[in-house]
């Protein structure tokens, strides 16, 4: 039996030492019920505490040393752009080079730590995240405009990644099933790749950032973590947690600065062995291009683990629970203001029930409360920054020409980057708003004559991330399951909300390399298999 205590995995036949925690089967972290007075009070206290910490200046960390670059940028609160969340260093290509070299040096010792030691670090990090769960959520409320519920789910997912990948690393470190022969002793082990450039997004600034980072760590790799400039504070708080849990210097290096820093320096660096990226299609394609070209002194083919965009859909069959479908569409379209790669941006509804579903969706959309993310009554907070706001409003204007505006359609009141949840009906399948990723609270309603046409429309973009079908007909469900080309496909539920260990996440086509984050295959992306054969002497 495996037991865990203070960063170390123990093997024991006895449970006498009650200070050791048995490594139980993985279970997802429970979400907070903010309807409970105690939970609401705890979250308010966390928001108040974090508010007193805003505006601090944070360094780069290279090889364990705090470094100032001489030039900083400010992270702001999208609910109130006058509020500074923190000041961060503008790293240079020279800093990036030093960070990669520090990671390469740290890798030479970290790689030989046991899987038990490395998993212990992750379990400690998960425990610390639980202790300050609401504080981590509060940072997301302020820095990226996540509502209480969305921020809480993000923090829970980060805990899940630490717990799940820790267990997966232990599984991979165990004996692998091979065919046995009498003349040889054979084994297959999984060894780390080397230095990884981890480039996470701002929209899941804790969960995805933490998941990508700890997956690399627990398998023995070293990392240069380059967070989005829209969410560096949250990454900094997690980096501090790793340090407090005993992460050796240089195993993770914290590097902030312009986006080109990652693409032109980290991705091309000859000592970088792999790149883990989550973000837009265009940036992902550029990283893939850069990573494919061997640089002078490079001794390997780089791996590019790419999680990119989506143009996700929900199909509603003529025989379906229309109320459930409408609810699923609204939650999927407007959760975190539609700023999820899994968000529903296309509702594809059979003509027989089109008007009924549209009416229900419009009613539910108009009932959503738009406001500051710190307000517990808010359903839809701000979009992340001024550039995103302009882009989304421009798409809404395109949508006015391509369809019929039936809800929303412009800015919402308030000092932040608030946009009304918008529904545009009668959209053609080839319209821009039905093809291009908007990444905001804009939903295109598309009619279909039958299920076959609905599936054809659903598959008719360059993406293939998430999708859903609402139907009460088993044969239609089976057809949709076979033919809808999406990496994560759901039946009679929303198309967002993948759970670690339950719904391995990743998409097809221009949605990326189908990484299946939070699944049993993910750690294989940051390891390489080594087969060892030894002759048995008689």
What is the distance between the alpha carbons of residues 164 and 181, in angstroms, rounded to a whole number? 34
Which tokens hold the place of 333? 């379209």
Q: Cα(first)–Cα(last) distance of the chain, in Å?
A: 34
Which tokens hold the place of 99? 């960070």
The one catalytic residue in 135, 157, 307, 389 is 307
Q: Is 184 a catalytic residue?
A: no
CA 397 to chain centre: 29
CB atoms within 10 A of CB 405: 16
Outline where 245-321 has alpha helix (H): 259-260, 281-292
- Taking CA atoms, 254 is separated from 68, 209, 427, in Å, by 12, 12, 45
What is the distance between the alpha carbons of residues 383 and 386, in angstroms, rounded to a whole number? 8
Outline where 335-373 has alpha helix (H): 351-366
Half-sphere CA count of 147, side-chain side, radius 13 A: 21
What is the distance between the alpha carbons of residues 253 and 473, in angstroms, rounded to a whole number? 52
Phi, psi values for residue 111, rounded to 5°: -60, -25
SS3 of 52-68: the string is: CCCCEEECEEECCEEEC
H or E stretch including 463?
Answer: strand 463-464
> E strands, 130-250, where?
184-192, 195-199, 222-225
User: Bridge-partner residues for 307, per DSSP?
Assistant: 278, 512
Burial 493-521 (b: 16+ CB within 10 A, else e): bbbbbbbbbebbbbbbbbbbbbbbbbbee
Q: Is 264 a catalytic residue?
A: no
CB atoms within 10 A of CB 345: 28
415 three-state secondary structure: coil
Radius of gyration, alpha carbons of the chain: 24
Rounded (10°) CA dihedral 284, 289, 294, 297: -50
Smallest Cα–Cα separation from 19: which of 27, 28, 10, 30? 10
426 three-state secondary structure: coil
Is 3 within 8 Å of 21 (Cβ atoms)?
yes
Question: Order of strands across the sheet with 65-67?
Answer: 65-67, 60-62, 252-254, 222-225, 195-199, 272-278, 303-307
Pairing of strands 2-5, 303-307: unpaired
The one catalytic residue in 245, 341, 344, 484 is 341
The length of the chain in residues reads: 538
What is the distance between the alpha carbons of residues 89 and 305, in angstroms, rounded to a whole number? 26
What is the distance between the alpha carbons of residues 273 and 267, in angstroms, rounded to a whole number? 9
Catalytic amino acids? 307, 341
């Amino acid at each position: 039996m495996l037991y865990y205590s203070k960063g170390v995995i123990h093997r024991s036949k006895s449970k006498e030492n009650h200070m050791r925690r048995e490594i139980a089967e993985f279970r997802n972290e429970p979400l907070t019920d903010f309807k409970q007075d105690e939970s609401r009070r705890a979250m308010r206290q966390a928001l108040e505490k974090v508010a007193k910490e805003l505006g601090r200046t944070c360094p780069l960390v290279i090889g364990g040393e705090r470094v100032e670059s001489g030039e900083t940028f400010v992270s702001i609160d999208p609910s109130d752009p006058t509020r500074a969340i923190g000041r961060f260093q503008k790293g240079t290509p020279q800093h990036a080079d030093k960070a990669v070299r520090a990671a390469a040096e740290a890798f030479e010792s970290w790689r030989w730590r046991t899987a038990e030691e490395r998993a212990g670090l992750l379990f400690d990090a998960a425990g610390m995240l639980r202790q300050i769960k609401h504080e981590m959520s509060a940072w997301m409320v302020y820095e990226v405009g996540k509502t209480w519920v969305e921020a809480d789910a993000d923090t829970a997912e980060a805990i899940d990644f630490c717990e799940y990948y820790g267990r997966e690393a232990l599984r991979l470190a165990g004996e692998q099933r091979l065919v046995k022969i009498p003349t040889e002793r054979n084994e297959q082990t999984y060894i780390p790749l080397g230095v990884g450039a981890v480039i996470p997004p701002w929209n899941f600034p804790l969960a995805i950032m933490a998941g990508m980072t700890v997956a690399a760590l627990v398998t023995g790799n070293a990392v240069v973590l380059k967070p989005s400039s829209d969410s560096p504070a949250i990454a900094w708080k997690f980096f501090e947690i790793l340090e407090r849990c005993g992460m050796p210097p240089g195993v993770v290096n914290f590097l902030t600065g312009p986006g080109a820093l990652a693409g032109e320096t980290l991705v091309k660096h000859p000592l970088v062995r792999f790149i883990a990226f989550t973000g837009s299609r265009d940036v992902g394609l550029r990283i893939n291009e850069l990573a494919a070209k061997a640089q002078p002194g490079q001794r390997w083919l780089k791996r590019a683990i790419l999680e990119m965009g989506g143009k996700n859909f929900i199909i509603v069959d003529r025989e379906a629970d229309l109320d459930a479908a409408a609810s699923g569409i609204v939650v999927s379209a407007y959760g975190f203001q539609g700023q999820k790669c899994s968000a529903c941006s296309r509702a594809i509804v059979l003509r027989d029930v089109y008007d009924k579903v549209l009416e229900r969706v419009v009613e539910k959309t108009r009932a959503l409360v738009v406001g500051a993310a710190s307000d517990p009554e808010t359903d839809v907070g701000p979009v992340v920054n001024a550039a995103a706001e302009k882009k989304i409003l421009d798409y809404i204007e395109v949508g006015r020409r391509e369809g019929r505006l039936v809800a929303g359609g412009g800015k919402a009141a308030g000092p932040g980057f608030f946009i009304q949840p918008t529904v545009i009906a009668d959209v053609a399948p080839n319209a821009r708003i039905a093809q291009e990723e908007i990444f905001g609270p804009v939903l295109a309603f598309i009619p279909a004559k039958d299920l076959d046409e609905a599936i054809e429309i659903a598959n008719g973009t360059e993406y293939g991330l998430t999708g859903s079908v609402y139907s009460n007909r088993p044969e239609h469900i089976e057809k949709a399951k076979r033919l809808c080309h999406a990496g994560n496909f759901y039946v009679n539920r929303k198309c967002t909300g993948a759970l670690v260990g339950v719904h391995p996440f990743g998409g097809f086509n221009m949605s990326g390399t189908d990484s299946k984050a939070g699944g049993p295959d993910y750690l294989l992306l940051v390891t390489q298999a080594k087969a060892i054969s030894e002759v048995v002497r008689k």
